[in-house]
Structure 1
C-alpha cells in the first residue's frame, strides 16, 4: 500500500476516534448546562401558568447559546479521550515509531477543532444573538408582569432607521435618563451626535440637558461642535416602547457590537466592557481549536490512568479555563488589562502550555 494512502487511512481512523467522544460530551454538557434554564422555565410553567408550547419554545431558544458554551468543553474531552485511547492501547507508540510526530498524528483532530471553531463562530454570529433577543422578548411576554423591563446598563436600542440611542442608566420611576447619546444619520450630509449628561422623557418626547452636538465629516472626525443647554426629541413611538427594544451585548452579533463601539468612540465614550465582549465573541469560538491542540500532548501522560485520567484532566482543564476566562474578563472590564489581551489571555496561556508539552513529548521520544 502506498505511504500516502496509509496516511490518509490513518487520518480517517484518528478522526473517527475523536467524533464519538466529542458528540457524546457535547450532548451531555448541553443537557447539564440547560438545567438552570429548565428550572426557571418549569417555575414559570407552574407558577405563572404559561403554556407548555411557550415553555418548550423558550427552552429551544436557549439551545444555541448553551451549545456555544458546551462546544469547547466537548472539544477538549473529545481530544483527551480519543488520543488517550490510542496511547493506552499502544497505537500512539506504534505511530510515533514509524516516524510520525504527535502533532502529525493529531492533525485530523486539529483540523476538526478548526472546523468546530468556524461553526461555533457562525453560530455565535448569526444564530445566538437572534435566539437570545427572541428569548428575552418572549419571556417578557409570557411573564406578563412587566412587559417592558428596566433598561440594563450600557445598552443600545434603535429609535428609527436614522437614529440609534445609547443610555447608560434609566430610572423608570422618575423617568430620568443619565448619560445619553443620540447618533443621527441625516440624508445628504454627515452624521450628527448629541451627548447629554441627563434628561427625562414624557410620552414620545425626550427632554435632554447639558447637550453637546458634534457634526462629523466623511472620515469620522468632528467638523463642528457646539453646546446647548436644552434639546428635545420627538419620536414616533412612546419612550417605553423604545426602552423595551433594548439589546444587550449577548443579543448582538460581533459585527453589530463593533458598529455600536465605533459610534460610541465617535461620541467620545470608551465602552470598555463592550470592547471586552467584542473580542470574546471571536476568542471563545477559537477556543475549540486551542483546547484540541492542548489536549493532544496532554493525552500522552495518561498511559496508566486510562479513561479515568482523560475524564479527570478534561474536567480540571475545563474548570481552569473558565476560571481564567471569567478572571480575565473581569480584569478587562475594570481596566486593569487591555480588552484585546483580556479576551485572548486564556487561549494564549493554553497555546503556551501546549507548545511546552509538545517540546517535551518530542524530546522524550
Structure 2
C-alpha cells in the first residue's frame, strides 16, 4: 500500500501541511475581522476594555472557523496537487506506475483524520469557548439597566408536572443565574383545559419549582391578583432549561447524545441537535469529498494548459457542494428532511461525484 511507503509518507506530509496552512490562514483572517468588529461595538460599553475584547474574539473564533474545514480541505488539496504537478513530481510518480488513485490515498487519509480530529477534539473545545463567549458578550454588551441577554432571542419552554402542563414564554435569560426575565406562563389542567396565566418580572428555577417575582395571576375563575412571590411546580432541571435555548453550536460532540436525551425528556424538539450531531459525524466524509473534487481539477499537466479554468471550476464545484450541504441542513432543521439524510446525503453525493469525475478523467 502506497500510504506506508516513503512516497506515501511524503505525500501525506504535503497534504497535511497544505490543509493545515489554509485553515490557519482563514483562522487568522476571521479572528482579525471579528476583533475589528468587536472593537467597533466596544464604544457602546464602558466595561468593554481591549483585553476583554481580545479574550472575547479568541473565544468566538474557533466556533466560526469550524465552518471552513471543508474549504480548507478543498483549497489545501488543490494547492498540494497543483504544486506536485508543477514540479513534475506527479509525472515521475506516474512514470513508475503509480496511478492517481494510489497517490490520492494519502490525501483521503489526511482529510479523514483531520475530520475526525475536528469533531473529537476541536469541536468540544470550540463549543466550550462559544459558551464562554456568549456569557462574556452578555456581560460586556448588555444594555444599560437591563438584565436580559441581548444575545438570546425570545425563549419558549414546555414542562409537565403534578399540576399539569405549562407553556413558558420569556423575553430572555438572566446572564449569570438559572432564571428568565419577563415571563408569561400558561398553565393547563391534566385534561388539557386552560387553567390560568401567570406573568412575572423574573422566574428563578429551583429544585422542584419556579420562584416567580412580581407575579400577576389571571384565571377565568377569579379576579386577577398580584403577588410579590409565587411558586410553581416543575420537573425541569437547570441543565434542561439552559439546553432549551442553547444553540447546537455550543454543545460539544461528546456532550451531544446526552443533550439530545435531556431535550427529549423535557418535551422539546431535538431536530436541531440531532442534525448537528449527524453533520459532525459526516464531516470526515465531506472533507474526503472535497479532496476528490480538488483532485478532479488539479491533476492536469501544466504543459497541456487550461489549468486556470479547471481551478476556477474546482472552486465553483466546491462552493456548490458547500451550498448544497447548507441547504440540506436547512431542510433538515425545519423537519422537511430526516436529519440523518440531510447530514449524510451531500457528503455521500459529493464523494460519489468526485470519484466519478476522476474515473472519467483517469480511466475513461
- TM-score normalised by L of structure 1: 0.71
Alpha-carbon distance change, 18 to 9 in structure 1, aligned in 2, over 3 angstroms: same
Tell me by how many angstroms 1:131 deviates.
0.3
Partner of 2:225: none
CA contact (8 A) 1:261 1:274 kept: yes
SS in 1 for 2:54: helix
Superposed, which structure 2 residues align to 1:74-153 within 5 Å? 74-145=72-143, 146-149=146-149, 151-152=152-153
SS in 2 for 1:60: helix
Alignment of 1:11 with 2:8, yes or no, is yes
Partner of 1:292: 291
Partners of 2:243 and 2:141 lie apart in 1 by 14
Partners of 1:256 and 1:154 lie apart in 2 by 22
Tell me by how many angstroms 1:26 deviates.
1.5
Partner of 1:22: 19
Tell me by how many angstroms 1:121 deviates.
0.9
Partner of 1:176: 184
CA contact (8 A) 1:276 1:343 kept: yes
Tell me by how many angstroms 1:302 deviates.
6.4
What CA RMSD, in Å, does the superposition of the two structures yield over aligned residues?
A: 4.0
Partner of 1:37: 34
SS in 2 for 1:47: coil
Partner of 2:361: 361
CA contact (8 A) 1:170 1:176 kept: yes
Partners of 2:23 and 2:154 lie apart in 1 by 33
Alpha-carbon distance change, 312 to 198 in structure 1, aligned in 2, over 3 angstroms: farther
- Unaligned runs of at least 5 residues, structure 2: 158-165, 173-180, 189-194, 205-209, 218-230
CA contact (8 A) 1:155 1:247 kept: no
- Unaligned runs of at least 5 residues, structure 1: 157-165, 181-195, 210-230
Q: How many residues get paired? A: 313
Partner of 1:257: 256
Partner of 1:191: none
Alpha-carbon distance change, 139 to 147 in structure 1, aligned in 2, over 3 angstroms: farther
CA contact (8 A) 2:271 2:335 kept: yes
Partner of 1:57: 55
SS in 1 for 2:297: helix
When structure 1 is superposed on structure 2, of 64-73 and 306-315 the one drifting more is 306-315
SS in 2 for 1:55: helix
- TM-score normalised by L of structure 2: 0.71
Alpha-carbon distance change, 234 to 75 in structure 1, aligned in 2, over 3 angstroms: closer
Deviations 1:25-65 (A, max 9, x none): 22222233345523431113333241110000011112321
Partners of 1:170 and 1:358 lie apart in 2 by 54
Deviations 1:95-135 (A, max 9, x none): 22322221211222222212211221124442011000000
Partners of 2:259 and 2:196 lie apart in 1 by 19
Partner of 1:47: 44
Tell me by how many angstroms 1:299 deviates.
1.7
Tell me by how many angstroms 1:245 deviates.
10
Tell me by how many angstroms 1:79 deviates.
1.0
Partners of 2:243 and 2:350 lie apart in 1 by 40
Superposed, which structure 2 residues align to 1:170-319 within 5 Å? 170-171=170-171, 174-177=182-185, 203-204=203-204, 205=210, 232-233=232-233, 247-266=246-265, 269-301=268-300, 303=302, 304=304, 308=308, 312-319=312-319
Partners of 2:168 and 2:14 lie apart in 1 by 50
Greater RCO (Cα-Cα under 8 Å, separation 6 or more): 1
CA contact (8 A) 2:73 2:287 kept: yes
SS in 2 for 1:175: strand
Tell me by how many angstroms 1:267 deviates.
5.8
CA contact (8 A) 2:35 2:53 kept: no
Alpha-carbon distance change, 314 to 51 in structure 1, aligned in 2, over 3 angstroms: farther
